[in-house]
Chains A and B, each alone.
Chain A
Amino acid sequence: MIAVLDYGIGNLRSAEKALVHVGADVRLVSEPSAARGAAGMVLPGVGAFGACVRALRSSGLMEVAMGALETDTPFLGICVGLQMLYEASDEEPAEAGMGVLKGKVRSLSPGVKRPQMQWNLLHPTNAVPMASGGASALLAGVADDAWAYFVHSYAPEPTEDVVATCDYGGSVVAAVERGNLWGTQFHPEKSGRTGLAILENFVRRCG
């Protein structure tokens, strides 16, 4: 069972339906106890960073997410769900993130329209993700000229965990991977066949 954390923010139905479409046994989890035994965990997120962090914490699901990360359970953060894994965000500097990924979330370049609300071309970095023992598992089977759908005004600082970027007023982090910890700044559940392939990779990783 893959737990999609439902902490009262935004639209989770799209992520759930896309995961079901690629064959996952999905449960929307709003109570910490309901996540017990999950083989994988998805942390979605839309809207503001601070609001998401507070909602995740007050729902009791931040501890659930941290527990999954500590036990190396396959984990996928989507959009603000990825951003919350970092230490902090320019969007609300006073609110700390979970800090499991080093670095901060920064505003997109002032020279471009914000939010980036569009499809964009993914550029694989060809980094070898730590502990993956080879090429990116997140991007397995995804073409080199694949497109994904983005809606965001902020993005993480680049680190060695970045496996894909896009070009939007400069290079922007699109996907990260460190062992079983995966994250996408774009929405795989809304990115057509590219997104479904990534979700399928994740479901496979969950076993």
Chain B
Amino acid sequence: MRVIRVIPCLDVDSGRVVKGVRFEGLRDAGDPVELARRYDEEGADEVIFLDITASSQGRATMVDVVSRAAEQVFIPLTVGGGVRTIEDATRLLRAGADKVAINTAAVGDPSLIRRLAEALGSQCVVVAIDARMRIPITLAGDDANSADNLGDLGASWEVFTHGGRLATGIDACKWAVECQDLGAGELLVTSMDRDGTKDGFDVELIRAITSSCTVPVVASGGVGTLQHLVDGAQLGGADAVLAASIFHYRQHTIAEAKQYLASHGVTVRPATA
């Protein structure tokens, strides 16, 4: 039985949950430990904390937040943002994280993925991939809006690092396969084009990654309605669907999301279980 996970993602800045649009313009959305507790009670399958400023400003990762959360939340806890070394990852795991997500540091030195997997086990190594669509030159005119056809017409996506500020020139699908081959246990794929827009996942991107990889893929970026979660699982083929603002601002509870998924043919752990 394949069971799709529903994962609220908490972007954390200076110990507070924040949420932006297309990686910019941040709003305060509460205390991370309180929110994580609430999501656990509502039936979340996992919680992700992303320290969104750590990469650029070099701030220490939020070991304290993780430690407090791990004393109260007994579902898997993934932590990312600013993880550059095995020591950084170990510190987070020691604080109570179950998985660590790496992004910028992995692109800079892909061998970090293998070293982390060897030292800590693949099951706790998540590679976060922030990707933006490259518009094919032949579609630069009016046709650029026909997004439904982009996948068929050879659309591709480019990997970005440093919180979305730095283009790498790397193809997202090729990078995903490389991450898997190096020992990543899971991929967290965020569409920068959709992040914070509430326009739905970039299901073409998610589908492109899930069809080239065998490790679990978490779809991220753009959820504005519960149908978007269904689309991520059914059209994108994602193993887990991530959302932030629809949960943080109480547009929907996790339980509502799960009921909706279940009634639309997606197998989930019931929120009451």
Chain A residues near B (Cβ < 8 Å): 9-11, 13-14, 17-18, 20-21, 46-48, 112-115, 117-121, 143, 145-147, 149, 151, 166-168, 187, 189-196
Our pick among B45, B74, B98, B216 for the contact of A196 (Cβ within 8 Å) is B74
Closest B residue to A45 using CB positions:
B121
Q: How far is the CA of A21 from the CA of B94 in the complex (A)?
A: 17
- Please, which residues of chain B bring their CB within 8 A of the CB of A46? 120-121, 123-124
Q: How far is the CA of A192 from the CA of B95 in the complex (A)?
A: 18
- State whether A149 touches B76 (Cβ < 8 A): yes
Question: Which residues from 148 to 187 on chain B have a C-beta closer than 8 Å to any C-beta of chain A?
Answer: 185-186
- Please, which residues of chain A bring their CB within 8 A of the CB of B77? 14
- State whether B76 touches A190 (Cβ < 8 A): yes
Given A117-B216, A196-B74; 19 other pairs, CB 8 A cutoff: A10-B124, A11-B97, A13-B95, A14-B77, A14-B98, A17-B71, A47-B123, A113-B239, A115-B123, A117-B239, A121-B3, A121-B269, A145-B273, A146-B273, A147-B273, A149-B45, A166-B1, A190-B75, A192-B75
- State whether A13 touches B96 (Cβ < 8 A): yes
Chain B residues near A (Cβ < 8 Å): 1-5, 40, 45, 70-71, 74-77, 93-98, 120-124, 185-186, 214-216, 239, 269-270, 273
Q: How far is the CA of A45 from the CA of B40 in the complex (A)?
A: 24
B236 to chain A, nearest CB (A): 15
Q: How far is the CA of A192 from the CA of B273 in the complex (A)?
A: 9
Of listed A18, A145, A192, residue having the most chain B CB within 10 A: A192
- Please, which residues of chain B bring their CB within 8 A of the CB of A13? 70, 93-96
Our pick among B2, B96, B273 for the contact of A118 (Cβ within 8 Å) is B2
- State whether A151 touches B273 (Cβ < 8 A): no
- State whether A117 touches B186 (Cβ < 8 A): yes
- State whether A9 touches B273 (Cβ < 8 A): no
Q: How far is the CA of A21 from the CA of B37 in the complex (A)?
A: 14
Closest A residue to B94 using CB positions:
A13
- Please, which residues of chain B bring their CB within 8 A of the CB of A146? 273
Q: How far is the CA of A21 from the CA of B96 in the complex (A)?
A: 13
Our pick among A18, A47, A113 for the contact of B120 (Cβ within 8 Å) is A47
Known: A11-B124, A17-B70, A47-B121. A119 touches B3 (CB 8 A): yes
Closest A residue to B70 using CB positions:
A17
